[in-house]
Structures are given as structure tokens and as C-alpha cells.
Structure 1
Amino acid sequence: MTQQQRTDDRAGNGTEGTGRDDELRSAVELGLPGTIADLCNLVRIPSVSWAAFDRSAVAASAAAVADLARGLGIFDTVEVRQAGIPGSDELGQPAVLATRAARNGRPTVLLYAHHDVQPPGADELWESKPFEPTVRGDRLYGRGAADDKAGVMAHIASLRALAEVAGEIDLGLALFIEGEEEFGSRSFATFLQENRDALAADVIVVADSDNWDTETPALTVGLRGNVTFKLTVRTLQHASHSGMFGGAVPDAMLATVRLLASLHDADGSVAVDGLTRHEQETPEYTEDRLAEEAALIEGVTPIGRGAILSRIWAQPSLTVTGIDAPSVANASNTLAPEISVRISARVAPGQSAADAFAAIETHLRRHAPFGAQVQIEDVDLGDPFLVDTSGWAVTEVRRAMADAWGRDPVDTGIGGSIPFIADLVQVFPEAQILVTGVEDPDTRAHSPNESLHLGVFKRAVLTEALFLGRLDSGMPS
């Protein structure tokens, strides 16, 4: 069916479509208190997937999500499954997979989100306990309240509304709620291969992104890739007295500082040969808005060159996210023999993560000062992604967003990474991928005081309910 035929079909069924749309609006509205209560129950489970944390909490979270999926009464199967991590004998964290077959020629939609969360960080940095969901004003606070248990509940709530309104559903569905996205999706590729038939879909909705603001929806059409690794710099066999040898002996801290400084130009732009940028137009975004949303302190200026959003969406970045060095409290008058840092690089769309890592590694080895030894380990790569916006599913989800929010969506890039999308593209090359989300610029995902704007959440649920309801009605081909 052509796009014009689909448009004509919608016009010919306008009354029926509008009636169902109104019913879905009502179902989402009436179901919202229960949806938020279910979300709060999920937030109370400290499902941190990192290796140093209790795996039983992630298992409990998976079980809770599976119960929610079973409670919908629409799936043929609901299971908690695990897949192996390549290169090890370890299993990945548990994921939930629920499926139902399409009927009467309807398409199949794969709904993705993740139920694991980032570590909470220091409790004293939170205004309320990280795993005790708390409403203040129009926001729900808690670790995972937005990223991404709200994504989980957006799927559950939209399906709940659809089931209530439609009764018998013809739409094919696969609900895939991952359990280790925040820990690198280490078993993701294996899970896809082992469950390929169950996950196969015409459309994939990834509910793990952002919106333009609390009143304007966004469809994410570009994501940067990522390269992370541990860098260790050594200059001495053991620590030496800083007074006896300082001034002649290059300690590891000096070498590390000099090496890290070589990664950027004077204006903060990345200075690594071989890292590329993606040319694209970006919406207007001021330095004042950047300062507000990124919480710059007074007097601090932005770094880099070009339009602000180009720097965030379409150019590479390099950040030191951690350092192993003597603490100030335990500092002694010694020259440090070695220093380790964690580096997080973001890769512009259009360049593979492997090529970006090769460029960074070459730079570090060439610029190591004073003959310092450089060791690179714990490398993790994730490719960037550009959405093909020519498909009918993009048209349909944009229409659903406009109807749910009362405003047309903005096509956006995201400075962060969702590396597993490249795996989805590789395994399901014919599927149309839609990257949506429940977050907004004040969400503070991964940070203390993470929160969900409840108005944004309601509109995100309604968007998905309208989108799925229209597909279930058979409007698109």
C-alpha cells in the first residue's frame, strides 16, 4: 500500500479512528493513577545491573515486570530469559520477553525498554531517598523513575489502554525489557540471536530517549556512538620521595595530566586526528539554555566550536569520568608511579566505534610524554546510529505525537549513546526503528535527583497508545 493509499484509508475511516482515539485518551487518563503506582513499585526495587551490586535485585525487577506483562492478558507467552556473555561463561542479567502473534494481516511491533538502573551514588546528594519514589510538584523522583522504568511503564500502560478499548487485539507484539542496558548490554547480541524469531518485527519502538522540553515531543533520529576504556600511565617502578627526586623525575600524575591535556584544543574542541563529525542542521539552541539545562556555574563558558547542538549531537567528545590516584586526605610527599583514568568518548554518526577507538589509541601512544608507558584495557565499543525517516512508521508516530501533545514533534539527535540499536539494525535490517522517550531536559538521568515529569509521562503513554491503536485498526500497511 502506498503512503497516499494509507492517507486515503485514514480519511475514509475518520469517524472510527477518532472514536477509538477518544476512547484511548480516556483509558490512558483513567489508568494513570494505577500506572504511576506500578511505576513506583518498580522504582523501589534497586535493580542496579553493575557487577558490584546484588544481582537478586535485578532478578526481582524482572519478575515484577513479567507479572505486569502477564496481567495484561494479551500475550501468548511471557518469560524471563537470560543469554550468555560472549567470551565468558557468565550469563547476562535477566530480561523479560513477551510475545503474541499478529492476526488478520496486522504488523508486528517490538517494544523495547530496560528495567535495570544506574547506581544511585551518594545518598546525601539526593533530596529524597533514591529508591523511595517521591512526588514533588509535577515530578516523580527516584533512581529509574525516568531512565528507564518509565519507559517500561509507558509500554505496559499503552498496551493496557489498547486492550481495554479494543478487546481483541490483532496487532502482533513483542515486549522486550532488557536487564543490563546500564552495564553495557553485554549479552544483548547473544539474546537477539537466540530469540531472533520471537523478536522479529516490522517496527521497533525504543522507549529510552528524551523530549525537546516538557511541552514539546521529540523523535530521536541520531545517536552518537561510544568508546570507553581504562587508561593507565606508568613512569616509575615504585613511589619515590617528591623532595629527593622532584624536578628531575617525571611522576605518573604529571605525565597523565600532560597526556590528557593533549586530547583537546585550547577552546575545548577534541584534538584527535581521525575522529570525524557529522554534518547536519540543528534547531536553535542558545548558550543560555545550555547553561540552564547543563547546570553550568556562573562564569563557566561552553567549549567547542560550531552550533551548540552540533557539538552535542554531531561531533565527537572525550571525557575523563574517573581517576584512580592518591586522595587528598591520604596524600603523601611522593611521586606517584602510576595513575589510571576512565575515558568515555562519544562518536559522531557516520564513524564506526572501532575506527574512533583506533584514532584515540594512536593519539595516546604518540603523545605519551617523557617516555611514559601507556596501557589501555577494558575497552567497550558501541556504534552510532541514524534513523531512516522515510518509512511509514515515522509518519505514523509523528502524527501520534502531535495528537497526544498538541504540538508537532522535533527531530533531534542525542549526545548519549544507545549502542544496542546498531545490533538491532544488523539482526533486523528491514525493521523500522523509532526512538522515543519519556525524559525531558530536567530529568537528570544517571545523576542524583533523577526525576520524571508526570505530564510528559502521560503524553508519552498516550502517544504510544494512539500509535499502537491505529496500527491495530489496520490503517498503515
Structure 2
Amino acid sequence: MDTAAANETIARLWDAEILPSLTEFVAIPALSPAFDPAWSSAGHLDAAVEHLRAWITGRGVEGAEVEVVRLPDRTPLLLVDVPATPGAPDTGTALLYGHLDKQPPVGGWAEGLGPWTPVLRDGRLYGRGSADDGYAGYAATAAIEAVRAAGGAHGRCVLILETGEESGSPDLPAYLDHLADRLGTVSLVVCLDSGGNDYERLWLTTSLRGMVSVDLTVRVLDAGAHSGLASGVVPSSFRIARHLLDRLEDSETGEIRLKEMHVDIPDDRAAEAAATARSAPGAIVNAFPLADATRPVTEDEVELLLNNSWRPTLSVIGASGFPEPLDAGNVLRPFTTLTLSFRLPPTADHEHALAVLERTLTEDVPYGATVEITRSESAPGWNAPALAPWLNDALDQASAHVFDGSPWRTIGLGGSIPFMGLLADEYPAAQFVITGALGADSNAHVPNEWLHVKHAKRVTAAVAHVLDAHSRS
């Protein structure tokens, strides 16, 4: 493959074709089903699928079949099936993945920006779904086009763009089962829903954390009571909830006390964390807008990386039963509800962890208070298989010819991509390239989400290198 020609094709496609269409995609409020129960009647997910279907069809990739797949009562999925270049050997299917659903808009966007108001400024495309993960379908298609335009080769490529990832991909297992015969033997998985610690190199995600989430409700009264009359007689629901949280987490250190949520950190992943810290010093600390004099939990960046990838954590991400401060009266509240979100190490047993969590919260509750566990959810993590020599060489070539010699690095991602665990179980012999244009400061899921356009172009070129190498694997 002519590297210069591939890079030129990708740059042209991004500037002339992708950015205008991606800008229009950002304006579609395609909320994931978990955030829009009326998604079917709202039609925004369908609009997002149609937008990408029309764009990809318009590319005119020879032999490509573009289809919207719909299973009853499930979110739609866009499937693009591209045959291998003439003469390429059968090395199995390269499955390229992205998603078209989006996180909620949330408030607090900077002046002049908004979730559905695309703004291109200083090489950044702002708007919800720009980086997570609207660009992925464009990048995957452009990589295939670039391989062909540069005289390279690729095996059969199948692009899947789902519309439920931000809701935990509940419909994806059914689609994978439905499409199993059509997918064939998947030997390479490319996922563009990840990223790394800087924009100077290609980052390969080698692990993803699992998750467990529950709503915990502690109820002590059938109705609120005057706090002056009831306090000291009726126990506080908040105090009981705090006691239960102490069973789960050391409030001083943040260490999770449930041993079932811990695993032994593999030596190779610990070594990767050390290499990542050396390659991008300060990246993990500086990625987050710490308030005033707030410090990270430790100054040791290797430990921070391991905390964020191979150790369990707890975040209280929601609460109910509390009035706004200005509305608060002298009332002993009848209940407290907290949404507990745990991130689990990649190889932890998420189902067992959930069972232990529920038992820990409901046994021997102080004062006999009523404890309700609702909205229980869990999902597996993922730990990548060892890289095949051909893939290692392809990543080296991409580093040399696309990233100006900056060596590729690996990272354990603190978030979850349920699709990876599903595919790892389905295709245990496949190689995985989990990468993307996201940086820790790309603001995925929060205000001011933005895509680093130059980095997205280079990630696209790296995928072209991998597809070309896969055809010779």
C-alpha cells in the first residue's frame, strides 16, 4: 500500500466529505434508548441510521452492500458488507464497530456551544456524538476507501453501527446471533469507540472494566415527620445508607471492601501502565478539571492508571428523596435513594459481584430499616489477547508512517464497551484493535464534547494500515 497515497485520500475525504456530513450528524438528537423511552416514536435513532446509510451508500464503494437491519422491538442496526479486494486471500472477516446513539445533552455547555449545535473551532468539532462515537462509521469507511485508492488490499470487511451502546448494548447479542452466518469467521475486530492519553500517537486499549450498578433505597417512615419531634427517636435513612456504604467502601481511601470485586493485576498490564505513565507524564492527572486545590487520590501516576483500569471503584451517580436546599424544611425524610455505580476489573465475575453486593446491602440492616434494591445491572469487562506478530508489525508501521515515529502505546480503559466482551466470547481466536480519537479531555458524556479532527484523520490512516496487513495475515 502506498502510504502517501493513503494519507492523501484520507485527508481529502475528511476535509471534503466527512466533516460536512459529521457536522449534520451532530445536530441529530439521537439519544440512546435508556435516556429516551420514546425513541421509537421520536425517530431520532432512525434519522441517525439513515444519515449514515445515505452517506456510505453515496461513497460508491465497489461491491458494498448497505443494509438497515431491524429485529422486532429492538433498536436498528446499520450493516455494511464490503467484499475483499480482488485476489486477496481469505483471512477471515474484519469486523469494524461503532455506534450512532448518544448520551444525554446535560447542561453547562460553554458559551456558543451546545449538544446539538455543531461548531468547528481550532481543529475541534464540538457537539454530542462527534467523538463518541459518530465519527467511527465515517473513519471505517474512509479507511477501506484509502486502502483501495493506495493500491493496498483488504479482506472482507463488515461494518456494524449499532444504536444502543450508551444503554449497555442490550440488543446487540440478538443481532450478533441473527447475523452469525453472515459474519462468518471473524479474525479481526476494529473498534473506534476508545482513545488514549494524548493525541501524539496511536493508543491501543488492552482492557476494559466491567460494571455493576444498583439503586439502593433505605426507608424508615411511611411519611416524613417533623425533624425536631422525630430525630433521636426515628433513625435517619441517610445515616443508615452511610453505614451500608461503609460496608462497601473505605471512605478514607476509596478502597472497595468486597473481595469479590478484586482480581490479581496481571504482570503485563502493570508493566503497560508503567510504560504509559512514562510516555505521557501528567496526562491522566491533567485530563480532569480538578476544582481549586483538589488533588488526585495519589501522586503516583502508575497507581492512578491501575486504579482506573484494574481496581474496583464506586461512584454515587444519583440520589432521590432529597429536596433542593432552598426547599428543605425541618423534616426527617422517609427515605434515601442512592444510585451506586461500581467499575470492576476486566476479569472480575460481574454476576457474582452483583450477588454479593445485594447480599451485603440487605443483610442485618440497622434498626430493621427497609432496604430496597432496584435497577440492578451488571456487565463483563474485557482483557485483550496477545497481539499476533502481523498486527504488532502493522501498528509499528502506522506509528512510523502516520504518527511521525511516535510509538504506539497501550492503555487500560476505565469505562466499558459491552460489545467487546460479547465478541471475545464469540470469536476467541480474533485479534482486537480497540482504538479511537478520544482523549481523556474529549468530554465524552459531559458538556463540551469535542473531536480532535487531526487525530481522527491519523487514526483513520492507522486502521487502513491494519486492514492492509490483515489481508496478508
TM-score of the superposition, structure 1-length normalised?
0.88
Q: Does 1:134 align with 2:122?
A: no
Distance change in 2, residues 1:152/1:287 (3 Å) = same
For 1:72 and 1:163, locate their aligned partners in 2 and report how far apart those are by CA, in whole Å: 13
2:387 is matched with 390
Unpaired runs of at least 5, structure 1: 1-16, 85-90
For 1:377 and 1:358, locate their aligned partners in 2 and report how far apart those are by CA, in whole Å: 13
Q: Does 1:268 align with 2:251?
A: no
1:318 is matched with 314
Deviations 1:339-397 (A, max 9, x none): 22211111102212112212322332247433222221222221111111232453144
Give the deviation of 1:334 after TM superposition: 1.6
Give the deviation of 1:254 after TM superposition: 2.4
Q: Does 1:198 align with 2:182?
A: yes
Residue 267 of structure 1 aligns to a residue in which SS?
coil
For 2:20 and 2:290, locate their aligned partners in 1 and report how far apart those are by CA, in whole Å: 34
Residue 219 of structure 1 aligns to a residue in which SS?
strand
Alignment of 1:251-330 (within 5 A): 251-265=236-250, 266-279=252-265, 280-281=270-271, 282-283=273-274, 284=277, 289-303=283-297, 307-328=303-324, 329-330=326-327
Report which stretch shifted further, 298-307 or 264-273: 298-307
Q: Is the 8 A contact 2:195 2:437 kept in 1?
A: yes
Unpaired runs of at least 5, structure 2: none
Residue 274 of structure 1 aligns to a residue in which SS?
helix
2:135 is matched with 150
Report which stretch shifted further, 93-102 or 181-190: 93-102
For 1:40 and 1:149, locate their aligned partners in 2 and report how far apart those are by CA, in whole Å: 10
The one-letter code of the counterpart of 1:254 is R
Q: Is the 8 A contact 2:147 2:154 kept in 1?
A: no
1:405 to 399, 403, 406: 403
1:87 is matched with none
Give the deviation of 1:52 after TM superposition: 4.6
For 1:125 and 1:278, locate their aligned partners in 2 and report how far apart those are by CA, in whole Å: 42
Deviations 1:148-168 (A, max 9, x none): 01222211221232343449x
1:67 is matched with 54
Q: Does 1:230 align with 2:227?
A: no
Report which stretch shifted further, 103-112 or 278-287: 278-287
1:118 to 103, 112, 115: 103
1:378 is matched with 375
Distance change in 2, residues 1:170/1:261 (3 Å) = closer
Give the deviation of 1:61 after TM superposition: 0.2
1:180 is matched with 164
The one-letter code of the counterpart of 1:395 is N
The one-letter code of the counterpart of 2:382 is F
Give the deviation of 1:133 after TM superposition: 1.2
Q: Does 1:109 align with 2:94?
A: yes
- For the aligned residue pairs, the C-alpha RMSD in angstroms reads 2.3
Give the deviation of 1:327 after TM superposition: 2.2
Give the deviation of 1:30 after TM superposition: 2.0
TM-score of the superposition, structure 2-length normalised?
0.89
Alignment of 1:28-107 (within 5 A): 28-33=10-15, 34-53=17-36, 55=39, 56-74=43-61, 75-83=63-71, 91-102=73-84, 104=87, 105-107=89-91
* Matched residue count: 449
Residue 318 of structure 1 aligns to a residue in which SS?
strand
Residue 307 of structure 1 aligns to a residue in which SS?
helix
